[in-house]
Chains A and B, each alone.
Chain A
Amino acid sequence: MTTVPEVYDKHFKPESSPSNWEVWSWFFMRISGIVLLFLVMGHMAIMHVFGEGVERIDFEFVAKRWDGVFWRTYDFLLLALSMLHGANGARMVIEDHFRKAGWRAVLKTSLYALTFIFFALGSIVIFTFDASQMPGGG
């Protein structure tokens, strides 16, 4: 049975320490995690538990919610932090479980591309949505 110190000695040089970037990534996960805790719990409580939950959600509900600046800001913050937190978490999972350089490159490139596309799509929707421009809306 291999012990943790044995694995550590085999794979880490004594003088090595985590890169600056990796330390920031560690810190970011904790800070964004605290903020997300409140944003996500609030979002889930409003959308799924209280006030009839998902029953009442339709186009009109979203249009009313996004009529002001507050919920657009809330939702954008939620989008940005959850995407970055989630993508960074998935990156760590890839780096932990895939040892071959080829697989890592393919998976990480796809992850970053997907994250970018969905982040862009979500941001565009939050910032450009205008109910009065919709057929049958507003």
Chain B
Amino acid sequence: MWSWIFHRGSGLAVLGFLFLHILDTSLVGLGPEHYNKFVKLYQGPIFRPLEVLLMAFVIFHSLNGVRILIVDFWPKGARYQQQLTRGVGLLTLALFLPAAFFMLRPLFVS
């Protein structure tokens, strides 16, 4: 049940960011001045942690999606659902922690 709730929550959150991301990227159509001003915001200390959260959502949603594929298409998938769920959690952490480190480092080392 928690996988299902997190899958929905992370999916909706990523979709929400996607709308914002289309808006900010469309600023390139207005020229460097507008686009660069907005991207500076993304690089600042307020947005950076939100990007790290986005990274966590994307990684979890991707890996949990793979779990859903396995359960749906591999006949024995449902039998291993407990191991699969644990695997999603561990792999999410294994990918997320180094990514978060690289993303946050520039805030502390300049």
Contacts and interface: CB of A to CB of B under 8 A. Distances in A.
**Chain A, interface size: which category?**
35 or more
A30 B18 contact: no
Interface string B2-41: 0000001001101100110011011011011101100100
The main secondary structure of chain B at its interface with chain A is helix
Contacts of B72: 30
Contacts of A53: 102-103, 106
Nearest to A120: B22
Contacts, number: 105
B12 A93 contact: yes
Interface of A: 30, 33-34, 36-37, 40-41, 44, 48-50, 52-55, 57-60, 62-63, 79, 82-83, 86-87, 89-90, 93, 114, 118, 121-122, 124-125, 128-129, 134-137
Interface of B: 8, 11-12, 14-15, 18-19, 22-23, 25-26, 28-29, 31-33, 35-36, 39, 42-43, 48, 51, 55, 58, 62, 65-66, 68-69, 72-73, 99, 102-103, 106
